[in-house]
Amino acid sequence: MRKLAFQDELRGLQNRRYFDAALNSSLNDRNEVHEGALLLMSIYDLQGINQRLGFDAADEILTMAALILKECAGTMDGTVVARLSGGDFAVMLENISQVEADQLADALCLEMMRLHTTGMLDTEQVCHVGFAMYHSGMTYSEILSRSDNALQLARTQGVNSWAVYAAHEETESSLPGRREWQGIVREAIEYENIVLHAQPVVSTGDRETLLRRETLSR
């Protein structure tokens, strides 16, 4: 039951529930100081892979990605390798320096190219990696947001790129991370800060007849 609750059985990795518990435990341990790096890896355009190659091929790609992650990071002490959802993976690395984390991110992006060179993936655009350093006392949402911002930065830097969160580069205009956006959306729903707009849909051959209305939320 524990295995079913905390493991992604198909990939052989921990799941999101286990990862969340492990990261929170590391950040909130009052008896010991913990520090390390939180690394996020995202397979590029998983939906497109499903459409082009089929679900079975996509499953094989995810399984190989999990294997590469375990090969690159899974042997280190205090490491949790997890699949969060879809093509998104996370690695929590305790007692690792930024130089070591840099080397791991670089090696991971290089190793992930095996998905293309072995013919499993039909494009050189395989993945992106972002990570941030953390220490005890930080909040779960803070470190996850930093890592997610680094991942978004990696996506703007080109094919199979990686990036690290740098506090001195953060400005007031920085885009919120995924976790922050979730909070923004939940708050908008809770306080009903949503406006609906309806637009008519008509046929190009008969613009006078209303077929339906499409409702957009803003």
135-161 pLDDT tens trace:
888 888 899 999 999 999 999 998 899
Sign, Cα dihedral of 70, 76, 77, 80: negative
Q: List the one residue out of 50, 40, 41 whose CA is nearest residue 132.
A: 40
The residues with which 5 forms a beta bridge, in sequence order, are none
pLDDT score recorded for residue 184: 83
Q: List the one residue out of 57, 65, 54 whose CA is nearest residue 11.
A: 65
Sign, Cα dihedral of 97, 107, 163, 73: negative
CA 124, CA 128: separation in Å to the nearest integer? 12
Indicate the SS3 state at residue 147: helix
Contact 122, 66 (CB under 8 A): no
With a pLDDT cut of 90, the percent of the chain lying above it is 50
Where are any strands of DSSP class E within 7-126? Answer: 7-8, 13-14, 35-43, 79-85, 88-94
pLDDT tens per residue, range 84-117: 988 999 999 988 999 999 999 999 999 999 999 9
CA 132, CA 60: separation in Å to the nearest integer? 29
- pTM recorded for the entire structure: 0.73
How many distinct helices (H) and strands (E) make up the chain? 8, 9
> What's the whole-number average pLDDT of the chain?
86
If you average pLDDT over residues 62-75, what whole number do you get?
Answer: 87
Contact 128, 41 (CB under 8 A): yes
The residues with which 42 forms a beta bridge, in sequence order, are 88, 128
Residues in the chain: 218
CA 152, CA 26: separation in Å to the nearest integer? 25
Indicate the SS3 state at residue 137: coil
